[in-house]
Chain A
Amino acid sequence: MADQTLHVLIIDDNRLRASIIEDGLSSGGQIRVTVLEETVDLLRRVVEIDPDVIFIDLENPNRDMLEHMFEVTRAVRRPIAMFVDQSDQASIEKAIEAGVSAYIVDGLKKERVRSIMDTAIHRFKAFQRLQRELEDAKSELADRKTIERAKSLLMRTRNLSEPDAYALLRKTAMNQNRRIAEIAESLILAAGLLGEENDK
């Protein structure tokens, strides 16, 4: 039946994240997903879309505005934030940890909402992980560049071969129980202060 379909609205200016969530929700069946990337004329859009559930990034600065709209307008069926009763504290916590907030329109079957909420939380977490991996990859690249610079510095100032320069960095890192990149960074910093690093 058509009226069994849940209409989910995702408000997110992060296109990648929105599509990850959309993808997860759509595969569940009997769910229609609309994504709003911008919040211009938000109230009119929400009224037009008439969703059953709204997902929005917890950090989205427009949340205060959204809640105010729900409060003052009669044009949109009044949604409530997440779940209301105390037994739902755990789901609320999970959602906030994952960085998602949800507004749920009254009169819905709670269990169905709960399952799509779980999916959304799952997807938000997946996005967080993806973002972390990207950042790690970025910093790994930066680490490698730093080590390269420290190596060439050692080769020049101490007349070491490349393998010896690396071995020295590694030995120092092991002795001090620090990462090679950290040692490399402090070496470059120190050289910079002493005016030894002229190649950069």
Chain B
Amino acid sequence: MSKALTQVRAGFIPLVDAASMIVAKELGYAEAEGIDLVLAKETSWATIRDRLAVAHLDVAHILAPMPVAANLGLGPLSTPMVVPMALGTGANSVTVSNGLWTALSEFIAAADFDAGNTLEALAKVVEQRRQRKDPPLKLGIVHQFSAHHYQLAYWLAKAGINTIDDVSLVILPPPLLPDALASGSIDGFCAGEPWGTVAAFAGTGVILTTNAHIWRNSPEKVLGVRKEWMETHPDVLPGLIRAIYRAAQWCDATEHQDELARILARSEYVGQQAQLLRPCLSRRLKAPNGQYVHVDGFLNFASKAATFPWRSHALWFYSQIVRWGQAQYSEEGAAIARDTYRPDIYRAAVEPMGVEVPSANSKVEGALSGETLTGATQGKLSLGPDKFFDGSVFDPERLEDYLASFKTTS
């Protein structure tokens, strides 16, 4: 490495959505911005958080709600964080054991991942188990402050299934979930790819539904930056954002899927066979009947403003943090959550590239039923759809009303 490069230490967890960070290094996008990107593969989100806290890491591929939680002082060893960009949207699935699938399939007509039908079936099975006095189903999630947790709980709550008495949540790092499913210690899990596909290929699990069916183009991972590092390296962060942006565009291109699968397959990255990474990258997942079904809006690395740090995403996570009792609502807390995401830094960084950037910092989530052209800095930008499966809408300007709606329905 040339001496002129600035070293940036970045942590990641082996998941497909770490791709843009990995490609930024592998294909030289970081180097072109004068950055020697040193990637550190970690085993758990707690380790990522701890290593950020003690400055072993400068930035990380991190669960979108984690920096919000850190700035709210929730959880141990939290350190002030900034989110100047997202690392794409989507790529999660809800995968269930063969046993649970057998019970569910009685109530499911079409094997098409539909979030409404599968939830109805799940509610019936949960009720059957209650009557039989069977123990509650155990569902795995990757972290308490994760999009998976909030999407799963949001989805289940719509059918009156709560995640305390009706089903119990078990936390495990993503790579351990397929084994936990195979060994019967959990009945299902919600996790990022490739782990749903790994279970489906091994024949030990069935992909039931996906995040795209629960909330289209929903936020997932972000670039988490230690605030102190950003302040001491003001000239480095914009280059890193541009490098990851270019890498994300590369990752989105259909013609790069095979090469991307090969890169991610390497043991220092995801460490799974390329054939297990391709379903996610081609947005075609293995349905319960064994067919591959295209999932619209399942995964975006760059397109549909997938790298833009929407403040409405930060606030939606805050609403769920409050909803599930992880924090008490306060105007101050909402402001902390909102300000964790920094669209201003993002815009300043990508502006020299002449790319389209949303002109708003927030949007009403769930309002776009199809692909929509919206106002952008240079002209128009294609966004959406961003529907929730239950058709409800989150207006970040009306956060308290949104919270009140959960009290009456759940």
Contacts and interface: CB of A to CB of B under 8 A. Distances in A.
B43 A59 contact: yes
B172 A64 contact: yes
Interface string B14-50: 0000000000000000000000000000011111001
A59 B77 contact: no
A64 B76 contact: no
Contacts of A59: 43-44, 47
Interface string A64-93: 110110011000000011100000010011
Contact of A71 (B44, B75, B173): B75
Nearest to A103: B76
A101 interface: yes
A112 B54 CA distance: 23
A61 interface: yes
A82 B47 contact: no
Q: Is the interface of A mostly helix, strand, loop or mixed?
A: helix
Contact of B170 (A65, A80, A103): A65
B53 A92 contact: yes
Interface string A27-67: 00000000000000000000000000000001111111101
Contact of A81 (B44, B76, B173): B76
B144 interface: yes
Interface residues of B, number: 25
Interface in A17-33: none
B150 to A, nearest CB: 14
A96 interface: yes
A71 B144 contact: yes
A96 B50 contact: yes
Interface string B72-104: 000111000000000000000000000000000
Contacts of A71: 75, 144, 326
B142 interface: yes
A80 B142 CA distance: 20
B56 interface: yes
Nearest to A70: B76
B262 interface: no
A62 B55 CA distance: 22
B182 to A, nearest CB: 16
Contacts of B53: 92
Nearest to A101: B50
A96 B172 contact: no
B171 A96 contact: no
Contacts of A103: 76
Interface string B122-164: 0000000000000000000011100000000000000000000
A96 B51 contact: yes
B50 A89 contact: no
B46 A63 contact: yes
Given A64-B44, A68-B144, A58 B76 contact: no
B20 to A, nearest CB: 24
Given A71-B75, A81-B77, A92-B77, A64 B54 contact: no
A61 B44 contact: yes
Interface string B317-342: 00000000010000000000000000
B75 A61 contact: no
B176 A61 contact: yes
Contacts of A80: 76
A59 to B, nearest CB: 5
Given A71-B75, A71-B144, A82-B76, A61 B50 contact: no
A82 B144 CA distance: 19
Contact of A67 (B142, B144, B173): B144
Interface string A153-194: 000000000000000000000000000000000000000000
A71 B45 CA distance: 15
A61 B43 contact: yes
Interface of A: 58-65, 67-68, 71-72, 80-82, 89, 92-93, 96-97, 101, 103
Q: In the A-B complex, list the 4 residue pairs whose CB atoms are closest, starting with the nearest.
A: A81-B76, A63-B46, A65-B171, A68-B171
7 contacts: A62-B44, A64-B144, A64-B172, A71-B326, A81-B76, A82-B77, A97-B54
Given A63-B47, A92-B53, 6 more contacts: A58-B47, A59-B43, A59-B47, A60-B43, A61-B43, A64-B172
